[in-house]
A = this chain, B = another copy of it.
Amino acid sequence: MSQKPLILVTNDDGINAPGIRFLIDVMKEIGEVVVVAPDSPQSAMGHAITINSTLSLEKIKNTEVPEYACSGTPVDCVKIALAEVLDRRPDLCVSGINHGSNSSINVIYSGTMSAAVEAGIEGIPAVGFSLLDFSWNADFTHTRPYVKKIAEQILAQGIQKGVVLNVNLPKENIKGIKVCRQAKASWEESFDKRLSPHGKEYYWLSGQFVNHDVGEDTDVYALENNYVSIVPVQFDLTAYHAIQPITNWDLKDVD
């Protein structure tokens, strides 16, 4: 009963990213921490897993808490942590702190959130944290009490089955915390077409985030007003409201 909660820490920016170093430091105040994170940046990997190649897992030497670097994606890290590293089920999985926003539709591209979702699929309370600052030198200091509070509340209250939390943190001047829905938004892509020194065309994916949502109950709105946003995220992707309309389609007469 006196055992401290076991907290699995992972991310998608790689085990050496300042965001995960900060998160490890906060989690050490709350529980027993084990880190299993990608050995290199894995941003925008979504829910990718490694099935056509092998994985390596290296224990890092001389660390304060046990740390393992894995060659795979964030989701691979959670899978291998649960199957090969941890000797008991973690009480919490925290992912991040991501360098850059994962609000709105970004949740779907995010390796940070996919790691949390994978833990959720395995029935482990899980949360992904992201800071609205893409810089490698981002300052995380001001987020400490919010990150700690939210992690403590998850441990105290539990999370409903099938749900994980997507937490985004303003860059500065935090006013409080709002529980929100995901804003309806998308990226307007543009591709930067270039010519290699060898005369071959290639592209850089680029784009602009466009919020189509005027609601005041969204994560984007909360963040614009300097609130930490918490969006409960589910991995049952069924659009239940769409089942009935499709049932009325002509799907019987197939030949």
Contact = CB atoms under 8 A, between A and B. Distances in A.
A182 B237 contact: yes
A177 B246 CA distance: 11
A225 B199 CA distance: 55
B149 A83 contact: no
A2 interface: no
A179 B72 CA distance: 35
A189 B83 contact: yes
Contact of A52 (B43, B46, B176, B189): B43
A250 to B, nearest CB: 6
B47 A46 contact: yes
Interface in A170-226: 176-177, 179-182, 184, 186, 189-191, 193-194, 200-205
19 contacts: A44-B49, A44-B52, A46-B49, A57-B203, A76-B205, A79-B205, A82-B189, A122-B186, A149-B254, A156-B250, A163-B242, A176-B252, A177-B251, A182-B238, A232-B242, A234-B239, A234-B242, A235-B237, A237-B237
Interface of A: 41, 43-52, 54-57, 72, 75-76, 79-80, 82-84, 105, 107-109, 114, 117, 121-122, 145-146, 149-150, 153, 156-157, 159-160, 162-163, 165-166, 176-177, 179-182, 184, 186, 189-191, 193-194, 200-205, 230-243, 245-247, 249-255
